[in-house]
Amino acid sequence: MDDNRVEILLVEDNPHDAEMTIRTLKKINLANRLIHLKDGAEALDFIFAKGAYTGRSINDRPKVILLDIKMPKVDGIEVLRQIKSNPDTKTIPVVIMTSSKEEQDIITSYNLGVNSYVVKPVDFDGFAKAVSELGFYWLITNQYTD
């Protein structure tokens, strides 16, 4: 495996939520190959090797994408739509991590092929537990192919 390969792509515009996610994953030694992007447009550039990420190979896919819905420039639903509609990226596991409990967001996400939809707990301990469980499942338990 390439030592520069990204395992977790965190797409989160809220700096507090991003910091808590990264800190929790570091605590359980799962953040070594994590990249944090702050909006959907930057995420699409990274995933599809465009813009600032033109030199990156589209075949170097993350093991999991942790994706917020409510973001500037391009929202998470559109990012999910583009990932799951492209044959090169549709098998990348995408976990929506959002504060939205709106039924329409949940239905739309599953119709587009999201692998999991998690509503962020508001308290720190609940948030940390959810992130830890997601990290262990998607990076350790889940079987992944290149």
DSSP character string of 53-67: GTTS-TTS--SEEEE
State the pLDDT at residue 146.
61
- Which residues are bridge partners to 94 per DSSP? 65
Average pLDDT for runs of 10 along the chain of length 146? 72 93 87 91 95 88 93 94 95 92 94 93 81 80 70
Angle at Cα 139 formed by Cα 106 and Cα 35, nearest 5°?
80
Q: What is the model's pTM?
A: 0.89
State the pLDDT at residue 4.
59
Q: Domains along the chain?
A: 8-139 (3.40.50.2300)
Our measurement of the distance from residue 146's CA atom to the centroid of its chain's CA atoms, rounded to an integer in Å, reads 17
Amino acid at 85: S
State the pLDDT at residue 136.
75
Question: Would you say 61 and 7 are in contact if contact means Cβ atoms under 8 Å apart?
Answer: no
Q: If you search the block for the tokens 């996400």, which residue do you land on?
A: 109
State the pLDDT at residue 145.
65
State how far the alpha carbon of 133 is from the alpha carbons of 118, 136, 138, 143, in Å: 11, 5, 9, 16
